[in-house]
Amino acid sequence: MLIAIPDVLDAATLAEVRATIDAADWVDGNATSGPQAALAKRNRQLPEDGAAARAAGATILDALGRTPLFVAAALPAKVFPPLFNRYEGGQDFGVHVDNAIRIKRGSDFRLRSDLSATLFLADPDSYDGGELVIEEQFGTQAVKLPAGHMVLYPASSLHRVAPVTRGVRVASFFWIQSMVRDDGARRILFELDQGVQAVAAAQGQGAAATVQLTGVYHNLLRRWAEV
C-alpha cells in the first residue's frame, strides 16, 4: 500500500527542522549504505548520531504521534530514528530495495523494515527532478510532495530517486516495523478503519453500525497483530 500523508509537519515545525539540519555538516550518503546500495547512491546525509539529526528526528517522531493517518496506515510497533539526506547537482539514487533489518549503530535497537517513509522537507518548486519513483503492484508511481508531506510505502518495493538537476532536494527518511507484518492485511485494516470513521461521522460513535464495525476491526487486529 502506498499512501501520501499530508501535513505531518506544519509550517512552524518545518521551519524549525530545516533551521536545525541546514546549519549542520553533511557527509557522504554512503556512510550508511550496504555494498549494493553504495553502487547506486549519490547524495549527502547528516551523520546518524549527530546532534542535528537527533534533535530534528525527535521533532519528527513527535509529529508522527500526532498524525492519526500515519498511525492508522502504519500500525507502528517501532520507528527507526529519522535520517536526513540531500540531493543536488545531478545526484540520484538508483533502483534498490531497502534492507530487511535495520540496526541503529552502536546500540541494540533493530527493527524489521515493513514500511519505508520519505518526509519531504523542500518546496517542490525549488528543485527539478528528485522524484521518488516506486515500483508497486499497480504500476510505477513517481512521488514529489509539498514540504511537510510524507509518503509511506512497502519497504520491499523497488524504488529510486531521480536525478536532481536544479536546486536542492532535502528529505527525511526512515523505516517502520508494523504490528501487522503482512501488507495485504494492513491494507484491509486501513480501509476498514477509514470506513468506521465515515460511519461514525455519519451516524455517531454510539450507533449500532459503528460499534459493530469497530468490533470487527479490533478482532481482525487481534488476529493479525504481533506485539
Q: Which three cell numbers stand for residue 82?
A: 529519522
Question: What CA–CA distance (Å, rounded) separates 149 from 165?
Answer: 22
Question: What CA–CA distance (Å, rounded) separates 113 from 181?
Answer: 9
Facing residues of 79 across strands?
176
Binding residues for Fe cation: 96, 98, 159
Q: Kind of pairing, strands 139-143 and 83-88?
A: unpaired
Torsion angles phi and psi, residue 100, rounded to 5: -70, -35
SS (H, E, C) 92-149: CEEEECCCCEEECCCCCCEEECCEEEEEECCCHHHCEECCEEEEECCEEEEECCCCCC
User: Do residues 213 and 188 make contact, with C-beta atoms less than 8 angstroms apart?
Assistant: no
Binding residues for 2-oxoglutarate: 169
Binding residues: 96, 98, 159, 169
Burial of 39 (0-12, 13-18, 19+ CB in 10 A): exposed
Please state, in angstroms and as integers, the Cα–Cα distance from residue 218 to each residue in 71, 190, 192, following that order.
15, 12, 10
